[in-house]
Amino acid sequence: MKASPRQQQLLLDLQQLDHTIAQLRRKRSTLPERAELTALAEEAAAVRDRYMAAQRELDAQNADIARVEADAEMVRQRRARDEQLLAASTSSKEAQALQGELDTLLRRTRELEDRELELMEVQERAQSAFDAAAAALAGVDGRRAELQQRIDEAEGRLDRELAGHAEERAGLAAEIQRDLVELYEDLRGRIGIGAARLRGNVSEASNMALAPAELSDIRAAAPDEVVFCPGTGAILVRVEEE
């Protein structure tokens, strides 16, 4: 294939742009915050489990207190009714029965009050555990939101850089003859590098010195002849040393 030395040298600029774009894409996919977010997911799951367990325990204690309070209210209502009946009763037998029931209800009231105090102590501990779990969960959620924001900001910056380089690349590729660009793209897709500089007797595609016979053949080729790295197959661009 024939291409002017200028056209061939443009391939080096194109290769450098492609290298920069690949670096930016790799940087975008390996942001350290992304790894931190992944590591935080396991901690977040454990914290959420503790939060859910604390919430279930608190709900259970609240339900127990609510049941005791409901029982106590029923006893109070029954006592109030019996006291009214006792006040209006004219039968000593009925009055004796009502008084016996009032004594029983009074004992039941005291039992329920004692039980409620016990449950309130347990509920207080459950509330403290729940508050601590809620604070831990909020902390993890806050850290996760902060990491996600940093990821979004970093991705935004990198995407803008990528867009700028992609635009620059499109303009540069348009300056290079089509068959040369197509060859470059084919080689880059197959071996990872499309073009490299020949610096002295070293191919920057392989970072190895060429054998004397290989170097002699390349130097004997016409300046507009496209030559290739013997080790990698990439286009080898001959650049005069300053």
Q: What is the pLDDT of residue 241?
A: 57
Q: Is the pLDDT of residue 82 over 90?
A: no
Q: Is the pLDDT of residue 242 over 60?
A: no
Residue with tokens 């600029």: 13
Alpha helices in 89-211 (DSSP H): 92-175, 178-191
Q: Which amino acid is at 139?
A: G
**Per-residue DSSP letter, 201:** T
Q: Is the pLDDT of residue 208 over 80?
A: yes
> Whole-angstrom Cα distance, residue 81 to residue 76?
9
Residue with tokens 């935004």: 156
> Whole-angstrom Cα distance, residue 49 to residue 145?
19
Please give the model's pTM, rounded to 2 decimal places. 0.70
CATH of domain 31-175: 1.10.287.1490
> Whole-angstrom Cα distance, residue 46 to residue 58?
18
Q: Where are the domains of the chain?
A: 5-22+177-238, 31-175
pLDDT tens per residue, range 111-156: 999 999 999 999 999 999 999 999 999 999 999 999 999 999 999 9
